Amino acid sequence: MAIVEPASRIYAIVSGEHKGKSCVIRGSGGKRGLIGVIFLESRDDLMVFVKRGELAQLETPGWPEEIRDCSYGLQEYFEKQKGNGSNMLRTPDIAQPRALKVGDVLATGEIVVESQRRGFNCSVLIRLDRTGWVELAPRLPIALKGNKNHRLSVELRVNDRLATGCLIVKNSAPSIVNWIDIFLDRESCRIEVPSCIPLALA
């Protein structure tokens, strides 16, 4: 099982005019049975429509990303880093997705088994030993082993506060299979979170 958005999965076209070229799905076409794809080798973002059955998913989603270890603790996060997009918070029991390392154990017992990758729209892809690849918004505070103050995304309720200071303003709700919608600071700020991810609370 993997919990990754379609736009972060990489496909190869296995038949037809563009045989063998890698692409990323960007949406379904207006006509039935067609999928809009963008080719990775292309210099522009021109979308081409291909038949759904002509795509084969490649094994590893996303794209490689080199992360330099520039992590910081909670005090620096609140004083200097919050909201600047670096998303490298790391303490002994909390880490944002970009600050996770191979061998880290989540509060649920799952282990990070591969270096993270970049997904579509700045998301972070991490591979867990039991779930496989999961896609996360980079700002989420993940609870690591030893963190007793955490909840799975489906368990979040109004007025819960994440370790990063974000307030839950609406009860979480199932989105699609294995995805949960959480609402941070205002109802219009909806983030989809894989159901297996433990989020650290304040």
How far is it, in rounded angstroms, from Cα 60 to Cα 187?
33
How far is it, in rounded angstroms, from Cα 135 to Cα 158?
24
Model pLDDT for residues 79-115, shown as the tens digit of each residue: 888 877 789 999 999 999 999 999 999 999 999 999 9
Question: What is the percentage of the chain residues whose pLDDT exceeds 90?
Answer: 51
Decide if pLDDT at 25 tops 90. Answer: no
Start-end of H helices in 78-186? none
Angle, vertex CA 114, rays to CA 1 and CA 130, nearest 5: 30
pTM: 0.83
**Alpha-carbon Rg for the chain in angstroms:** 18
Q: Which domains does the chain have, with CATH numbers?
A: 6-57 (2.30.30.30), 63-200 (no CATH)
Model pLDDT for residues 37-59, shown as the tens digit of each residue: 888 877 777 788 888 888 888 88
Q: Give the pLDDT of residue 136.
A: 95
Question: What is the percentage of the chain residues whose pLDDT exceeds 70?
Answer: 98
DSSP H or E stretch at residue 74: helix 74-76
